[in-house]
Amino acid sequence: MIEMKNLTKKFGNFTAVDHLNLIIETGEFFGLLGTNGAGKTTTISMISTVLIPTEGEILIDGNLLTRKKSDQKRKLSVVTQEYSMRMDMNMDEVMEYQGRLYFLPKKVIKEKTEQLLEFAGLSPFRKRTVRHLSGGMRRKLMICRALMIEPEILLLDEPTAGMDAIARRQMWNLLRQLNGHNLTIILTTHYIDEAQSLCNRVALMDQGTLKKVDTPNNFISELGEFAVDQMIDDSLKSSYFNNRSEAIHYLEGLSENAAMRNTTLEDVFIETVGKRLPEK
């Protein structure tokens, strides 16, 4: 279990994360959603100890997490938003470096490298340096690297950014499988369909503060399961209904430029966070 208590991070006068209180249970697939600058990456960076909180604390299974606590850090693995790898290392070296940093025996490192690179379809490129890999390949390699150590908690900061649709779906399947093995996953993403498809619970963040936490289904039910979109003066307006017949009745009273559909987590996100943002 990960517990964040009054977690705050300031950069000078700017507050990136403001008194965040959150509990993530063991085995949960948890999503952090928010606009750019909402504080998602800063939160992940604090959990991974790259950043030290200005205020507050993080507990893992009741124990305080700090840079000095090797036993706590052993449970964590992270896929950062940026390609945090030595550019001149080849895939085998990237994997070996990771294994050595986590004190894995050489034999295990070799076996895991074979297994994970094969699984990710990266084996034919294993002697290629990171510098010469495509963005998607680098992402896959980062996931392989993170999984090598069999973590208890996996932090994923926009893991599918830059991936094509097929690679994204493959990644989703992989993450589902991993979560099935009781791995706790914290995911930040800009793809809200990704969070809706994968996460048990989702937190909506805005300007460093936590707005709401709930399951995607509860969020949708709260807003209304059916959405009716209509174009008014070149801008889209959506109305939400809990009952299909109510939605149909409303739709019938509208002009041609209207349609009904199921509400998505993206609607919840826009209604919660987007309302603050000025319309373009």
Residue 82 lies near another protein (rule: CB under 8 A) = yes
**Residue among 174, 184, 186 at smallest CA distance from 143:** 174
State the minimum distance, in angstroms, from the CB of residue 279 to another protein.
35
Site string for another protein, 7-46 (x = CB under 8 A): ----x-----------------------------------
Report the distance separating Cα 244 and Cα 169, nearest Å: 30
Say which residue the tokens 């048990």 belong to. Answer: 200
CA dist 192 to 91, 166, 265, 272, Å? 31, 17, 7, 13
**Residue among 143, 90, 79, 145 at smallest CA distance from 112:** 145
Applying CB under 8 A, among 64, 86, 134, 257 the residue interacting with another protein is 86
Helix (H, G, I), strand (E, B) or coil at 164: coil
Residue 178 lies near another protein (rule: CB under 8 A) = no
CB-nearer residue toward another protein: 58 or 268 = 58
CB-nearer residue toward another protein: 102 or 125 = 102
The long-range contacts involving 82-88, CB below 8 angstroms and separated by at least 24 positions, are: 83/130, 83/138, 83/139, 83/142, 84/142, 85/130, 85/138, 85/141, 85/142, 85/145, 86/130, 87/129, 87/130, 87/131, 88/129, 88/130, 88/131
State the minimum distance, in angstroms, from the CB of residue 69 to another protein.
9
Residue 83 lies near another protein (rule: CB under 8 A) = yes
Residue 103 lies near another protein (rule: CB under 8 A) = yes
Residue 161 lies near another protein (rule: CB under 8 A) = no
CB-nearer residue toward another protein: 40 or 145 = 145
CA dist 104 to 100, 153, 161, 192, Å? 6, 18, 29, 36
Residue 54 lies near another protein (rule: CB under 8 A) = yes
Pick the piece of the chain touching another protein (CB under 8 A) from 26-34, 99-107, 187-195, 265-273.
Answer: 99-107
State the minimum distance, in angstroms, from the CB of residue 60 to another protein.
13
CB-nearer residue toward another protein: 47 or 192 = 47
| Phi, psi angle pair for 115, to nearest 5° | -60, -50
Positions touching another protein (CB under 8 A) are: 11, 48-52, 54, 67-68, 70-71, 73-74, 76-78, 80, 82-89, 93, 96-98, 100-103, 145
